[in-house]
Structure 1
Amino acid sequence: MTQFPTLNGFGPTRRTLQLYARALGALARVYAPAHPKWWHISLKVTPVGLVTDNLPCAGGGILAGRMDFHRRAIVMESSDGRQWELPMDAGLSGRIMGERVIAAAAEAGLNGAIDRGRFADDEPGVYDSEAVGRFFTALVRADRVLKRHGARLGEKAGPARLWPHGFDLSLEWFGSRVERYNEGGQEMELPAQLNLGFYPGEDDDTSYFYSNPWPFEADKLLGRSLPDGAVWHTEGWQGAMLPYTAVEDEEQLLAFAAAVFDIASPLLTTP
């Protein structure tokens, strides 16, 4: 029996949760201390849900926002003991929830220009508690695997975090090779990298685990064998994919992660 629950029927609730997560991410984008790898806009998996980094407030305090799946609410909590509880099961659109998150932050002393376009949606929110429970179980188990894999990789691995934009959970490993690229006419440098992630889709068939080397050297990767069930993916994004429906347990995921790492990491390291 698989350790991962079905995500069938999760689609409408997923859309709502992603908008709510983007509202928290938009707040963190402005107020959290900026990390060069953008970890400050992501959310961390905890025993109750997903939480932002601490956001510094005027006067020396901090504020954090969390999507609390046990309380079915976004909870904004400040270090001075104040708390704002915003129900996620009240049918609030992304726009309305975002405005309530911003209003709570303003009461805590955070006033600034937030990019409301990140959660601007007026469709009523959907919160199926049973679907949320299955999603959170899958997320917690995926987070366990990512952290176990990261511990094996050592200090070159980043934290496992959920990214509101794509609503996927991932960690990154950084190689010693440096890549130069052009972005908007500006020359940039980034370390070569390899991630491991979980993309929870609208159902089982659109959900998957992935491990994407960057840069992706197709001529050196596509001919290499992957564990049973895993495939190389090149349409839309490039990397290795293990469909959610093919996963039985955590050990299988760890073996997938290790196999891609063994194949790709030598290409991401300076000789």
Structure 2
Amino acid sequence: LHAYAQVVGAMPRAFAEAHPKWWHVSLKVTDHGLTTDPMPLLDGGTASIVMDLAGGTISVRTAGETTATIPMTDGLSARVVGERLSAALGELGLAGDIDTDRFANDDERPFDAGAAASFWDVARLVASTFEEHLSGLSGDVGIVQLWPHGFDLSFEWFGTRVETHEENGETTDHPAQLNLGFYPGGQAYFYSNPWPFDADALLGVALPHGAQWHTEGWEGSILRYEELAGDPDGPAKLAEYARAVFEAASPTLMA
């Protein structure tokens, strides 16, 4: 799924309208599956790509029809899927500089339909919980999206504090921020990481449901998925974790 998501994400990177925060390269959780941003066509319409995890397909869709379908169940390599998607978009008039390095891999990709469906169930529930949490936040808030590069599902809240960064003689300003995300690989976990990370203000704050502050390798907080898996109150506990980190960290991210 991760390899195929990287293939799919390479297409809107080349053809969708660019977003200043790079949201155009992410995949969105929709009723149909993980879906790209619309890519404008010469006839005034748009095309999008949908990863249907429950159905096991990757499809190219326009407003009126599905123009191409690639079965994930065939176990095709990322390179082959990329070539087929590129050709399908080319037939719609989308041709250009696709970053093929993002899917330059010839490994076969056996498809586990049960695992894919289970992940999709979890992803939808996590996305719904994230959406409910962000709906209660004020200020500048992003959208829930899956990033193909890391295969994590997340969104960001932006504080009013601004950090100045200088590199190669150029100075840029970056807003302080707090993310909330889910990483499903390996030992899956949720994370919520404030930037900048104020260790003095945060490390003494207790977090609920087994969550902990994390400072080795990256700074933020972590809640292992296994702490909530199978718990009927899991979504509520996830929301409580998100709220606890926000309440602790947000004051440190304000001007």
Bin the TM-score by the shorter chain: over 0.9
Instruction: Find the counterpart in structure 2 of residue 201 from structure 1.
Output: 185
Q: Please tell me whether the aligned partners of residues 57 and 109 of structure 1 are also in contact (alpha carbons under 8 angstroms).
A: yes
Whole-Å separation in 2 of the counterparts to 1:254 and 1:112: 42
1:145 corresponds, among 129, 142, 160, to 129
Residue number in structure 2 paired with 1:120: 104
1:259 equivalent in alignment to 2:240: no
Listed as ranges, the gaps of 5+ residues in structure 2 are none
State the alpha-carbon separation in 2 of the partners of residues 167 and 212 from structure 1: 17
Q: Residue 139 of structure 2 contacts residue 158 of structure 2 at CA under 8 Å; is this kept in 1?
A: no
Secondary structure at the counterpart of residue 137 of structure 2: helix
In structure 2, what is the equivalent of residue 6 of structure 1?
none
Q: How does 1:1-271 map to 2 (within 5 A)?
A: 17-79=1-63, 81-183=65-167, 185-202=169-186, 206-247=187-228, 248=231, 249-270=234-255
Contact 2:139 2:159 in 1 (8 A): no
In 1, Cα distance between equivalents of 2:226 and 2:188 = 8
Following superposition, the deviation at residue 187 of structure 1 comes to 2.1
Give the deviation of 1:236 after TM superposition: 2.2
Alpha-carbon deviation of 1:80? 5.0
* CA positional deviation for 1:257: 0.3
| Secondary structure in 2 matching 1:89 | helix
Given that 1:78 and 1:108 are in contact with CA atoms closer than 8 Å, whether structure 2 keeps it comes out as no
- Tell me what 1:3 maps to: none
Query: Do the aligned partners of residues 97 and 213 (structure 1) sit closer, same or farther apart at CA in structure 2, a change above 3 Å counting?
Result: same
SS class of match (1:209)? strand
CA drift of 1:47 comes to 2.3
Residues 101-130 of structure 1: per-residue CA shift (max 9 Å, x gap): 111111111100111111211110121001
Q: Which amino acid aligns with 1:264?
A: A
Q: Which TM-score applies when normalising by structure 2?
A: 0.94
**1:184 Cα deviation from its structure 2 partner:** 5.3
Could you tell me the percent identity over the aligned residues?
Answer: 48
Cα deviation, residue 64, structure 1: 0.2
Cα gap change, 1:135/1:208 in structure 2, threshold over 3 Å: closer, same or farther? same
Structure 1 segments of 4 or more deviating over 6 A? none
TM-score (norm. length: structure 1): 0.89
| Alpha-carbon shift at residue 182 of structure 1 (Å) | 3.2
**Aligned with 2:226: secondary structure?**
helix
User: Which segments of 5 or more consecutive residues in structure 1 lack a partner in the other structure?
Assistant: 1-16
Distance 1:140 1:238 in 2: 27
Deviation at 1:20, TM superposition (A): 1.0
Preserved contact between residue 61 and residue 80 of structure 1 (Cα < 8 Å): no
Q: How many residues align?
A: 251
Q: Secondary structure at the match of 1:153?
A: coil
| Distance apart, 1:58 and its partner CA | 1.4
